[in-house]
Chain A
């Protein structure tokens, strides 16, 4: 088995596409590119594509990852070149590298992700006031948020999963940088952080453009390099 890790960007129209649909778009692109795809066993064989983590709808991703399993060896640059022409709007293949097929699955390696979120505040708030309110939020020990799920509401403490939350101002707007726990050992989503932020700051979460900029392993390495 040969495995190639592909990094791609997801933005433009594709930021409003759900993970399931992105997966299908990759399967179809890979078939159009006539890659020597390895398939799952069973009655309903599917190409073996493994993604690092679903990107929530509405967010862009600067360096998303998918591992593609092939039946024969292929140069990563050849795979990238043939796949690049086949991508739908908003999905851009950036690079590929060979990874050992026996290595851990991307999603099990993932520990946390870095996000930027840019937008405007409803009213002008001085910088020291911003710092103070965010600091007080992070210092209160626990941050409970309630989120609507498929059935009813879900309440959880997101504080342990917020590894870093800072901000800077850019051209009259502000940009938050968040490093949040991600993956199977616990997951905090930027929209959950925004629910908490909206309690202390004059902002509307849906007016912020959120981008997942990087995914990290437990030891702090980029997932790409693992």
Chain B
């Protein structure tokens, strides 16, 4: 890749494209029987903050017969240079073109990266449509949370893996090695036989006259009707990367990441992660302390982050935090808690790890009124929030962030007004705590609700853009009157597109191809997002995006993702949806009483927590 040396001086942050970071692995090309390019469809700084990448890097590269290299989306300036010079997309370690690899594996973390997947295939010189791929080009596979509805990308993906990749990825690589020399189709047949692997090409989708999917059926024998996700039973024994790559560049999450547990039992009804990552499996305390020690020794980071979907829920969070702080304070190592529950206990934890109150504390009540919080099963009361806020003020914080969602099912303007009222309540609490006027800063952030597959809100339409904008400007006006508050919101257009692709089907592939031809990619970046081009792409392909974002499905409808099974039962989701509409909450199954989501019997597992047998919850 000789041209690269001349290109790098011309682009912003050339460090994105060079590799060579500490703990990166460069293996012999010839010795490997299978070579994987792992693609994160966003730029380096985002992709390198992703723990899943580090896990799979470790899982594959520890095999003697396989290698895995990284590839990220080039920023627009680099893409321009690459296209001008016909430089194909290349992997960072060997700098070989991606099309020379046996497998190109995408991780699908968010819907707005779909156009970047298309762009990366194009930059790699790989035919977009699976049906056009012949010969020995790479098998294109994908995984990650959006794999639970990959339908808009299905015609571009040879295989999709559902679930946790620590074991499944190895099965896929084994099958590719065993089928070396056979035709592409034979290899795909072998892949389709692996639990958790979905080969879209082997399924036909039929539609009703109203546009709804009527059925998705295998088009050849031996292919399962439903593909079920795969999970790791015992997280303590799962491989964990204690020698992660340490980037040169400052990346988004530039710290050691210790995964405390997987899954979440809170049951927030809008949350896809909470649904698809079940069941809860915690790592044991001694395992975590040992992994923390190795991580810090092997990286030199001065901060360790305890990651999970809701870290203060970890059964032994107190001893863990205390243990880490005691052991590493002398080495000036900070402990970071990225996701805090809304309660006083969590604030106390934050106080333990943060001796200096330089940053702000973030809470996510998600909805302003108790009624709406019950609908979404958030399990947070106004008292919880005010207690948490009060504890934060007492502990010395003077800056807070509050996250809300607009456009949640059943939301009215009254619920939006309650957000403003709640914010005023926070300021009242501040006055009570005698924080000087003007010192207290509260940043209120409002995203827009996006209905996601496999959640109890999967049937719900998204609120129309005009309505979302109206609510945003209502809150903006309202919070202008609240001194010290600062309001920001997500653009309705991006949330709309997210909803379209989240609930999309295969017909959207044409839109993706058209949008890409018009220049869409890196849609998660404000400076790249071109809603006008997207509108044109929908128009050109004769597809109405509103049919996807605004449709209210019936329970009896076949959903485009019904053949993909994350283990949570549809009957349970229906029950939860009904409870939501009735304003009824559902408790957290950590407390020992099963809520019947159906996951544990399906996988023959039980939620695993790290608490001692005689320890009360």
Contact = CB atoms under 8 A, between A and B. Distances in A.
Contact of A88 (B8, B20, B298): B20
Interface string A3-36: 0000000001110111011101101111110000
Nearest to A30: B300
A16 B300 contact: no
Nearest to A206: B9
B358 interface: yes
Contacts of B22: 25, 28-29, 86-89
A171 to B, nearest CB: 17
A18 B15 CA distance: 8
Contact of A27 (B6, B15, B298, B300): B300
A153 interface: no
B10 interface: yes
B300 A32 contact: yes
B8 A16 contact: yes
A207 interface: yes
B581 to A, nearest CB: 50
A45 interface: yes
B300 A29 contact: yes
A130 interface: no
Nearest to A45: B332
Interface residues of A, number: 30
A76 interface: no
B19 A13 contact: yes
B300 A17 contact: no
B298 A21 contact: no
B21 A88 contact: yes
A161 interface: no
Contacts of A21: 15, 248-250
A28 B331 CA distance: 12
A71 B586 CA distance: 56
B301 interface: yes
A39 interface: yes
Contacts of A20: 250
Nearest to B21: A88
* Interface-centre pick from A22, A31, A90 (highest chain B CB count, 10 A): A31
Nearest to A26: B300
B250 A89 contact: no
A50 B358 CA distance: 26
Given A30-B300, A206-B10, A24 B19 contact: no
A122 B18 CA distance: 27
Given A13-B20, A88-B20, A28 B15 contact: no
Interface string A78-102: 0000000011111000000000000
Given A21-B249, A43-B356, A58-B9, A32 B19 contact: no
B204 interface: no
A105 interface: no
B392 interface: no
| Secondary structure class of chain A's binding surface, majority of residues | helix
Interface in B347-391: 356, 358
B248 A58 contact: no
In this complex, the interface size class of chain B, counting residues with CB under 8 Å from chain A, is 20 to 34
B24 interface: yes
B14 A58 contact: yes
Nearest to A210: B9
A198 interface: no
A87 B23 CA distance: 10
Contacts of A43: 356, 358
Nearest to B11: A16
A39 B297 contact: no
B137 to A, nearest CB: 28
A57 B248 contact: no
Contact of A28 (B8, B10, B246, B332): B246
Interface string B1-41: 00000101110011101111110100000000000000000
Contacts of B9: 57-58, 206
Contacts of A206: 6, 9-10
A28 B298 CA distance: 9
B302 interface: yes
A221 B345 CA distance: 61
B20 A14 contact: yes
A27 B250 CA distance: 13
A13 B358 CA distance: 35
A12 B249 CA distance: 15
A28 to B, nearest CB: 3
A31 B331 contact: yes
Contacts of B214: none
Contacts of B18: 13, 16-17
B300 A31 contact: yes
Nearest to B357: A43
B215 interface: no
A32 B14 contact: no
A24 B246 CA distance: 10
Given A13-B18, A58-B8, A207-B6, A88 B248 contact: yes
Contacts of A17: 15, 18, 248-249
Contact of A31 (B10, B17, B302): B302
Contacts of A13: 18-20, 248
Contacts of A24: 248, 250
B299 interface: yes
Interface string B208-245: 00000000000000000000000000000000000000
A207 B14 CA distance: 15
Contacts of A88: 20-22, 246, 248
A42 to B, nearest CB: 9
Interface in B479-503: none
Interface string A169-207: 000000000000000000000000000000000000011
Interface in B538-593: none
A90 B26 CA distance: 14
A205 B250 CA distance: 28
B356 A16 contact: no
Contacts of A22: 248
11 contacts: A16-B15, A17-B18, A17-B248, A27-B300, A27-B302, A29-B22, A87-B22, A88-B21, A88-B22, A88-B248, A90-B20
Interface of A: 12-14, 16-18, 20-22, 24-25, 27-32, 39, 43-45, 57-58, 86-90, 206-207
Interface of B: 6, 8-10, 13-15, 17-22, 24, 246, 248-250, 297-302, 331-332, 356, 358
Given A18-B13, A30-B300, 4 more contacts: A16-B18, A17-B18, A24-B248, A86-B300
A-B CB proximity, top 8 nearest? A89-B20, A28-B300, A13-B20, A31-B300, A13-B18, A16-B14, A88-B22, A32-B300
